[in-house]
Amino acid sequence: MIPVGIEAVAKRFGQVEALRGVSLELGAGKLTAILGPSGCGKTTLLRSIAGFVAVDGGRILFGRDDVTALPPQARGTAMVFQNYALWPHMSVFDNVAYGLRRKRLPWPDVLSKVMATLDLVEIGDAAGIAQRKPAALSGGQQQRVALARALVVEPRVLLLDEPLSNLDAKVRQRLRVEIRRLQRRIGTTMIYVTHDQEEALAIADRVVLMNAGEVVQEGAPEEIYLEPASAFAADFLGVSNRLDAVAEPGRLRVGDQVLAYSGPLTGPVLVIARSADLTLDAVPEHGAAATLKGILEESLFLGAHYRHYVRVGDAVLLVDGPAPAKPGAVEVKIPAGRLRVFPRSEHP
């Protein structure tokens, strides 16, 4: 188990600064998720760690080894891709055995390691799967094989690039639990790129949130979600509402309404509140400080909950709740401590 150190790593593609001096310490034996919107530089960072991208500046360290100038095959990493990237003409067994055969391991070792690893990813040899070609497997099974092929060589660092994005929702949910368990069991340092915030929060020990080639926040999943350090982080995680407001001592003005506010900001601010934190009151009460009056325009049934669309002035707030509600006048309650307020000037 080794930590991975990223020191001021920069990468430019023509006019695009894909990485702007990224520095990170990725824990030994931990699963770190790199999360961020499309184009933020996640894949470039992962590929730089793998050695597929030559960085323009900075250093990449595996433990004490500076691997910045090493070719991919000398770094001791393995990678799992979104599209599985299995060799179609080889059987499952041969796909997984490939890396061991290249290392010229004796046949009994190849056999036992391949079978043990297929077992680890819960493929086993049921129904002769090991002899099938990848095309005769489901997407979930193919990704298990890809995972086995990466793990069998006992990489120093396992890199996963959106590994579950091609799978349907149910398989994705199941496999992410299994990857989490597997990682705890074998303790390999893993770096997992995803644009799916729920996946990152569910699977990782640490989450690194990126935007426009920079790390904007890093921390435990709960910390990233509950204590977003910027409007970007607050807005990116969860289904969020953005409201323009003006902060004054003790209150926030939202259009012609007022919310209680005890923070330090004054002047134009951006208020971010997650749909899951808000509740709806069908019968308006007066006097409660952290409420906004609005008009319920629509309620959509999303399976586990309803999502209500409430017009408040020019804005439409998304509010999640357990029950349907009738269109008309409502109040939206915002619990104290779940209202995040950022200076407007920093977020044009």
Residue ranges in contact with ligand ATP by CB under 6 A? 13, 16, 18, 36, 38-44, 195
Provide the CA 9 distance to its chain's centre, in angstroms.
21
Q: How far is the CB of 42 from ligand ATP (least distance, A)?
A: 4
Q: How far is the CB of 325 from ligand ATP (least distance, A)?
A: 36
How do beta strands 240-248 and 251-254 pair?
A: antiparallel
- 43 phi-psi bin (left φ>0, alpha ψ -120 to 50, beta other): alpha
Between 68 and 279, CB nearer to ligand ATP: 68
Between 9 and 259, CB nearer to ligand ATP: 9
Between 46 and 271, CB nearer to ligand ATP: 46
- 63 phi-psi bin (left φ>0, alpha ψ -120 to 50, beta other): left
Q: How far is the CB of 260 from ligand ATP (least distance, A)?
A: 38
Q: How far is the CB of 69 from ligand ATP (least distance, A)?
A: 20
CB-based burial of residue 128 (10 Å sphere; 0-12 exposed, 13-18 middle, 19+ buried)? Answer: exposed
In the structure encoding, which two tokens stand for residue 251, read together? Answer: 């209150």
Between 165 and 279, CB nearer to ligand ATP: 165
Q: How far is the CB of 39 from ligand ATP (least distance, A)?
A: 4
Between 93 and 232, CB nearer to ligand ATP: 232
**Helix, strand, coil percentages in the chain from 3-state DSSP, rounded to 5:** 30, 35, 35
Query: Which amino acid type is present at position 204?
Result: A
For residues 249-285, one letter each, b for 16 or more C-beta atoms within 10 angstroms of the residue's C-beta and e for the rest, the string is: eebbebeeeebebeeebeeebbbbbbbbbbbbeeeee
Who contacts 289 (Cβ-Cβ below 8 Å, separation ≥6)?
A: 259, 260
Q: How far is the CB of 79 from ligand ATP (least distance, A)?
A: 14
Between 95 and 197, CB nearer to ligand ATP: 197
Between 40 and 270, CB nearer to ligand ATP: 40
Q: How far is the CB of 34 from ligand ATP (least distance, A)?
A: 8
Strand, helix or coil at 114?
Answer: helix
